[in-house]
Amino acid sequence: MTPEDLGFISGRLDRIGAVGRRYVDAGKLPNAIVQVAKGGDIVYTDVYGVSDVETGAPVAEDSIFRFFSMTKPITSVVLMQLYEEGVFLLEDPVHRWLPAMAKQSVFTGGSDQAPQTRPATRRMSIRDVLTHTSGLTYGFMRQHPVDAMYREQRLGDFVKPDYNLDGFIERLANMPLLFDPGTSWNYSVSTDVCGALIEKMTGRKLGEAFAERVFEPLGMVDTGFSVRPGEEARFTTNYVPSPDGGMIGFDPAATSAYLQPPEFESGGGGLVSTLADYQRFCDMVLNAGELDGHRIIGRKTLDYMGKNHLPDGKLLNELGQSLFAEVAMEGMGFGLGFSTVEDAAANGAVCSVGELAWGGAASTAFWVDPEEDLTVIFLTQLLPSSTYPLRRELRSAVYAALA
């Protein structure tokens, strides 16, 4: 089947790969893998660069990457499977399963060393943690005194936790909220709370629940919270920008903590995976929750997850407090685990209303466009994701290639 058979212009496809290759050639990225699929059929794949700058080992289509926040949609799908099974309602309070979260306060002033607080006006719900309207935050943001309080407790920072999910909740329960639940939006450890909820509801470790409910049915053999023994050579090194515009190794593949199973299985950002594995997940989402005879999530449930669930139907740029997110906030709503395009013109990049997307901290990204029946996955390893406008440049190249 040719690209033309799938509705693409062959002569324009290589512009898509050129987006990432330009950054690699300039020494700004170690590698770039991009894949476009239409209706589950692969239209274009480009693999370029090295998995480790020091060794010069080439990156490959089956290389293993840190997916960071591209973990979040998987966590959200598994939690909503439990919703379908009647385990909870979206309005149920989080503390029903995590009692330590029962008493919550809101930061009103002071500093991280001497915070002033008041009681929250209502309890945090499961909908709140699925939509990041919980009042929680991330320690790495460095925007608010509460962020500093998180870092003091090793919460939501790029430091390997020395606690498990139970320990995470114990520490988190003592942190004040940025705002009353359900009143604003802030990118946060909310999806890690979703992971803790999954463990309590299923009685299984998060990785076990993921494997049984998503990875095994979809054949995602290389996805997990650590690199499988024997596959270490396929793992990539992570980088951060250097002052001269190049890169500095941040997490070398040969010594990475991801080579060992973690104590803390992060539903918000802990998975490693591959292009082929995440393509299976994207194909399932595009195919309304089913793939190759395996029904992962109900069609109407997935459709509901893709609606804008923000208070009063507002958009992220109207409601969000955070200066950090894995998508441009203009024209975007947020559903139950995905961003969703509500106003394509306001977004400032070519896209489709109803597109589901998210990205990872190391500049990875994906989107699922039901209107055009396509999926796009981009992989590299550079922290933070806001360093270069890769995702917006990719959109321009992908949609320009449509016939």
Q: How much is the average pLDDT of 51-61?
A: 97
| pTM, 2 dp | 0.97
Residue 325 pLDDT grade (very low, low, confident, very high; cuts 50, 70, 90): low
Residue 179 is predicted with a pLDDT of 97
Q: How much is the average pLDDT of 344-373?
A: 95
Residue 53 is predicted with a pLDDT of 97
The better pLDDT of the pair 328, 109 is held by 109
CATH number for domain 4-78+221-400, candidates 3.40.640.10, 3.40.50.150, 3.40.710.10, 3.30.56.10: 3.40.710.10
Q: Domain residue spans in the chain?
A: 4-78+221-400, 90-202
- Assess whether pLDDT exceeds 70 at residue 380: yes
CATH number for domain 90-202, candidates 1.10.3720.10, 1.20.58.710, 3.60.110.10, 3.40.50.300: 1.20.58.710
- Assess whether pLDDT exceeds 90 at residue 328: no
Q: How much is the average pLDDT of 60-66?
A: 98
Q: What is the mean pLDDT of the chain?
A: 96
Residue 13 is predicted with a pLDDT of 98
Residue 110 pLDDT grade (very low, low, confident, very high; cuts 50, 70, 90): very high
Residue 327 pLDDT grade (very low, low, confident, very high; cuts 50, 70, 90): low
Q: Both tokens of residue 56?
A: 């010069």
The model's pLDDT over 156-202, given as tens digits with 9 standing for 90+, comes to 998 889 899 999 999 999 999 999 999 999 999 999 999 999 999 99
The model's pLDDT over 44-54, given as tens digits with 9 standing for 90+, comes to 999 999 999 99
The model's pLDDT over 224-249, given as tens digits with 9 standing for 90+, comes to 999 999 999 999 999 999 999 999 99
The model's pLDDT over 8-30, given as tens digits with 9 standing for 90+, comes to 999 999 999 999 999 999 999 99
